[in-house]
Amino acid sequence: MKKIGIMTTGGDCSGLNTAIHRLNFGAMRRGWEIIGILDGTDGLSHDTPKVIKFDSKTLPIENVRLSGSFLCNGHAAAQNFETAAKTGKFEEFNNKLKKSLDKLKLDALILIGGNGSLSLAYKNRDLYADLSLICIPKTIDMDIPMTDRTIGFETAVQQLVSYCDQLMLTARSHHRWFIVQTMGREAGNLALNAGMAMGADAILIPEIKFDIDELVKHIKNQPRDYGIIMVSEGISLRGHSGKPADMISRALSAAGVINRTAYPEHIQRAGDTTATDRLLALKMADCALDAISNNETFVMTAMINGKCKTISLEEFFNNGDIVCDPNIPNMETSDAYVSPEDPLLKIAVNMGIYIGEVK
């Protein structure tokens, strides 16, 4: 009988509980024992690993729609690769994780994480040399190479759309513009998709340069005196400082455009999981369990052209934009961004949405 561990790492999002539930029941049907590692890598950094043994009643079916992670992803004082690097205890931390994994005697570990977690898994392969490592990509940023979708992205888009739908009503009532700042770090997928879906008049993302004067001109020329400007948190504006939404707001105010800023923040990572994300979590869970049955290791589940398959972590890592991790010395992260060929960019131009200097 195989013994399988599940661990969620990095930021939370919707769809994690769906994946955990499906992994649990799929594993039980195969006759496998399954445990959950609590609080991500922090759960492995203690002398006695923090784990929970799953059975058919551990995570009720009615709760799988909920956001967040049943296993938790850590807390403010949690031990992880980043905190270990900051305190100069990176090697010591790695040794603790290795000892805990040895104690648990796992045949396989399913790691559900973002591009940072998956990059760390690839660069620290020695940690998982004695078991099968299967990764499942989740992030609202959609910044993981080699997969068309990540768990949590669709729900985050819906959360932003619902948020902006309500803002639009008060915007109309008071003849004002709202600059909504989204999450996404250096990737603009979330802002682009949500902005297009809800009808923003301008969408600013890190991947595309924009001219602030052209943006102001565009807004002043709109037939309405209200609307939404979607701004990704990763944009920059030469000669300006502060939060991106505040920078845009100041420029609009200087031109006489009445506006307010809005920060949905962690609302984007919450919300009942959409059906699309639930189906994605289900497909990726099943793919991960099949990978274990096939004795695969160091692979990631990926949705490519409508089909879920596994690719090697090496392929994931080498096909992204590899950058130095800002928080962990001598560590690299593989990132994906909005492609210049993304059809939404052309549609934005065709629909008269200001998107910046699209080539």
CATH code: domain of residue 168: 3.40.50.460
Q: Is residue 213 part of a domain?
A: yes
Residue 265: pLDDT over 80: yes
Q: What is the pLDDT of residue 240?
A: 77
- Beta strands 259-262; 299-304: pairing state: unpaired
Q: What is the pLDDT of residue 356?
A: 95
Q: Is residue 22 part of a domain?
A: yes
The pLDDT tens digits of the residues spanning 282-332 come to 999 999 999 999 999 999 999 999 999 999 999 999 999 999 988 888 899
Q: What is the pLDDT of residue 80?
A: 87
Q: Provide the number of structural domains found in the chain.
A: 2
Give, to the nearest 10 degrees, the angle between helix 275-293 and helix 16-29.
40
Least confident of 64-68, 241-245, 283-287: 241-245
3-state secondary structure of 50: coil
Residue 77: pLDDT over 80: no
Q: What are phi and psi of 126, to 5 degrees?
A: -60, -30
Query: What confidence tier does 198 reach under pLDDT thresholds 50, 70, 90?
Result: very high
Average pLDDT (17-40) is: 97
Average pLDDT (151-161) is: 98
Q: What is the pLDDT of residue 174?
A: 97
Q: Is residue 358 part of a domain?
A: no
Query: What confidence tier does 90 reach under pLDDT thresholds 50, 70, 90?
Result: confident
Name the percent of the chain lying above pLDDT 90.
Answer: 89
Q: Is residue 133 part of a domain?
A: yes
Q: What is the pLDDT of residue 85?
A: 87
C-alpha closest to that of 338 among 206, 200, 161, 158: 206
Do 246 and 126 have their domain in common? no
The pLDDT tens digits of the residues spanning 202-235 come to 999 999 999 999 999 999 999 999 999 999 999 9
Q: Is residue 66 part of a domain?
A: yes
Residue 79: pLDDT over 90: no
In one letter, which amino acid is 120? Answer: L
Q: Is residue 280 part of a domain?
A: yes
Q: What is the pLDDT of residue 63?
A: 95
Do 235 and 283 have their domain in common? no
Do 279 and 148 have their domain in common? yes
Q: What is the pLDDT of residue 327?
A: 86
Q: What is the pLDDT of residue 43?
A: 93
For the whole model, what pTM was predicted? 0.95
Average pLDDT (324-344) is: 93
Do 69 and 121 have their domain in common? yes
Residue 137: pLDDT over 80: yes
Strand partners, 301: 310
Whole-number Å distance between alpha carbons of 168 and 258: 14
Do 40 and 142 have their domain in common? yes
Do 281 and 142 have their domain in common? yes
Do 345 and 206 have their domain in common? yes
Q: Is residue 132 part of a domain?
A: yes
Do 63 and 145 have their domain in common? yes
Do 42 and 95 have their domain in common? yes
Q: What is the pLDDT of residue 202?
A: 98
Can you give the residue range of the structural domain that contains 37? 3-152+273-319
Do 205 and 57 have their domain in common? no
Query: What confidence tier does 88 reach under pLDDT thresholds 50, 70, 90?
Result: confident
CA angle at 165 for the pair 161 and 167, rounded to the nearest 5°: 115
Do 17 and 145 have their domain in common? yes
**To the nearest whole number, what is the mean pLDDT of the chain?**
95
Q: Is residue 79 part of a domain?
A: yes
Average pLDDT (324-353) is: 94
In one letter, which amino acid is 84? Answer: A
Residue 290 belongs to domain with CATH number: 3.40.50.450
Residues 6+ apart with CB under 8 A from 93: 41, 45, 79, 81, 84
Query: What confidence tier does 359 reach under pLDDT thresholds 50, 70, 90?
Result: confident
Active site residues: 141
Q: What is the pLDDT of residue 358?
A: 82
Residue 15: pLDDT over 90: yes
Q: What is the pLDDT of residue 36?
A: 98
Give, to the nearest 10 degrees, the angle between helix 153-174 and helix 275-293.
160
Do 138 and 174 have their domain in common? no
Whole-number Å distance between alpha carbons of 284 and 96: 29
